[in-house]
A and B are shown apart, each in its own frame.
Chain A
């Protein structure tokens, strides 16, 4: 079983729709992260959480929100999707300065 699981793997939706991407981890790590990957831009941090009660904005949080429902679950929401949010989204889990473990990504297309 994967350490970090993301659902769905692919999603096509329309402008203005609300979307939720889900992430769960079996590593028992305190920290969870959401990144966005765009071609030629690498990965950029959207939000991160150091524990259930500690949520922080990353580099590009505008237009996104998150919820840490439990230590193992961290979801990302787009309240009103727009086409420039079309991207590959990754969830990761980590502990301190140890390497983060990544999910396989969600490919999101907004028409």
Chain B
């Protein structure tokens, strides 16, 4: 079965500092991987996706993620945090076979940005 583990339920950084949110996945087939962001009182918005093309994926708002098969990781980074990045971030892997397209989510990481 596929699964996603997000290390750290809360991450706090200073404005201008590097953002690193960790995601490890388990999948017996080449995965489709996604990062979503949830701002307060809103739904989930897609940040970026990996679909077996380039291993370094660029998303919106300056975020990017690198797919590392050997480490089964898909960590999300941003070089310089802004106050507006404070939100909850979810990593997800897409199912396969009869569940193709279904998303299995990690438990989320809440990012706080200090002035």
Task: List chain A positions with a Cβ less than 8 A from chain B.
Answer: 4, 31, 33, 40-45, 48, 58, 90, 92, 94-100, 102-105
Closest to B91 in A: A42
- Are A96 and B44 interface neighbours, CB within 8 A? no
Determine the chain B residues whose CB is within 8 A of the CB of A97 once the complex forms: 32, 51, 94, 100-101
Q: Which of B41, B43, B102 contacts A45 (CB 8 A)?
A: B102
Q: Judge if B9 is at the interface, Cβ distance under 8 Å.
A: yes
Apart from the given pairs A96-B101, A97-B101, 7 other A-B contacts in the complex at a CB distance below 8 Å? A4-B43, A40-B9, A40-B107, A99-B49, A102-B45, A104-B43, A105-B41
CB contact under 8 A between A105 and B105, given known A43-B90, A96-B100:
no
Whole-angstrom distance between the alpha carbons of A96 and B103 in the complex? 11
Interchain residue pairs with CB less than 8 A apart (17): A4-B43, A31-B101, A33-B103, A40-B9, A43-B44, A43-B90, A43-B103, A44-B105, A95-B101, A96-B100, A96-B101, A97-B94, A100-B103, A102-B36, A102-B43, A104-B41, A104-B42
Interfacial residues of chain B within 85-110, with CB under 8 A of chain A in the complex? 90, 94, 100-103, 105-108
Task: List chain B positions with a Cβ less than 8 A from chain A.
Answer: 9, 32, 34, 36, 41-46, 49, 51, 90, 94, 100-103, 105-108
- Are B107 and A90 interface neighbours, CB within 8 A? no
Whole-angstrom distance between the alpha carbons of A99 and B32 in the complex? 10
Determine the chain B residues whose CB is within 8 A of the CB of A42 once the complex forms: 90, 105-108
Determine the chain A residues whose CB is within 8 A of the CB of B36 once the complex forms: 102
Whole-angstrom distance between the alpha carbons of A58 and B9 in the complex? 24
Determine the chain B residues whose CB is within 8 A of the CB of A95 once the complex forms: 101
- Are B9 and A99 interface neighbours, CB within 8 A? no
- Are A99 and B34 interface neighbours, CB within 8 A? yes
Closest 4 CB pairs of A and B: A102-B43, A42-B107, A42-B105, A102-B44
Determine the chain B residues whose CB is within 8 A of the CB of A90 once the complex forms: 43-44
| Chain B proximity of A45: nearest CB distance (Å) | 6
Determine the chain B residues whose CB is within 8 A of the CB of A96 once the complex forms: 100-101
Whole-angstrom distance between the alpha carbons of A93 and B89 in the complex? 19
